[in-house]
Amino acid sequence: MSEEAEVLFEKRGVAGIITLNRPQALNALTLNMVRLIHPKLREWADDDAVQCVIVEGAGDRAFCAGGDIRALHDWGRAGDRSAIDFWREEYLLNTYIKRYPKPYIALMDGINMGGGVGLSVHGSHRVATERLTFAMPETGIGLFPDVGGTYFLPRCPGETGLYLGLTGARLKAADAIFAGIADCYVPSAKLGELKDRLAGGAPVRTALGEVAVEEGPAPLRDIQKDISAHFSKGSVAEILASLRADGSEWAVQTADTIEAKSPISTLVAFRQIREGAALDFEDCMKLEFRLTNRFATGHDFFEGVRAVVIDKDQSPKWNPARLADIDAAEVDRYFAPLGENELSFG
């Protein structure tokens, strides 16, 4: 397969269609894909014949399961700046999607995590199907919920975003809609009809209204009271203490889940999501770029990828190993400005 085939571009009627074309890798996002998508979006933004953009994933398993973390691991281990280039260019693409001047319709059909979230959640119209599995699982690989998680997670209802960011909880369509991560539910069998209507020039809202159906109950809504009670605390330690004191099966499992993640990732994610509530989108992306630069020179990202992706023993040896072993100054270091290396939108 040629590199160009990692992404397919098509103009159909008045629609520009982007297809992530790595189905064997669950359409995981590569640096090459970022470098193909961004200029095409700019081209179509200036093309009067293109009235909307549709983004989808090839195959029936995933929209995009995340960034190509194996490549990021290998680049980092080799001291190759391509890892930092990937994050920089990915974040600039995320920002461009957020500010895109035309309707941008993401068809979230199948697994959508990490880098895929950055290609979809910031679009103007986010379509969920019955096959959607959404998650931000980054703290489980020694990273943090990036690709704009700093912005959209604190804007989920109540403390839902912090819960998602610290636990990596997986959501289906109804929960994604409740959380504000998706806008409507369209059965996967209707996606072809939706694309035809959009390509034929139907207004996006009209086209969606003709194929969308009721998404059904959202289990996430049912635990909002519990999420708010525990995740509104002022620190990760207080959240865990509250969950342990609760003692319910859900609370204990939630505490166990958080404690299995990278301790430094967990503390960084807590502060990141709290701070993101008061930042605009560009400042959120600048903050994330600072964080990725620090994680790229740390221990836990490489250990997390080893345990989950390379050796697949699911037994990462985090360092520091416990939340209590990390002081505030260590967390502060991750958030320090990068000077002349800051993310620039110029």
Q: Which member of 68, 90, 146, 303 is catalytic? A: 146
Q: Which of 109, 13, 9, 128 lies closest to 57 in space, CA to CA? A: 109
Of 142, 136, 182, whose CA–CA distance to 162 is shortest? 136
Distance of CA 279 to the CA centre of its chain: 18
- Residue 175 and residue 216: Cα distance in Å, rounded? 9
Q: Which of 215, 198, 259 is nearest to 52 (CA)?
A: 198
Length of the chain: 346
Cβ atoms 293, 85 nearer than 8 A: no
Conformational region of residue 66, where left means phi above 0, alpha means psi within -120 to 50, and beta covers everything else: left
Question: Which strands, in side-by-side order, build the sheet including 133-135?
Answer: 62-64, 111-113, 133-135
Token pair recorded at residue 300: 């836990």
13, 16, 57, 67: the catalytic one is 67
Torsion of CA 307, 308, 313, 319, to 10 degrees: 30
Q: Does the annotation count 67 as an active-site position?
A: yes
Task: Give yes or no: 79 in active site.
Answer: no
At residue 292, the 3 state secondary structure works out as helix
How far, in Å, CA of 236 to CA of 162, rounded? Answer: 10
How far is residue 318 CA from its own chain's centroid?
23
Task: For residue 62, give the H/E element and its range.
Answer: strand 62-64
Instruction: Pick the catalytic residue from 115, 149, 161, 276.
Output: 115
* Residue with token string 């995981």: 28
Which one of 6, 56, 138, 300 is the catalytic residue? 138
Q: Is 146 a catalytic residue?
A: yes
92, 151, 174, 295 from 283: Cα distances, Å: 12, 9, 30, 19
> Which region, left, alpha or beta, applies to residue 312 given φ > 0 means left and ψ of -120 to 50 means alpha?
left
User: Which are the catalytic amino acids?
Assistant: 67, 115, 138, 146
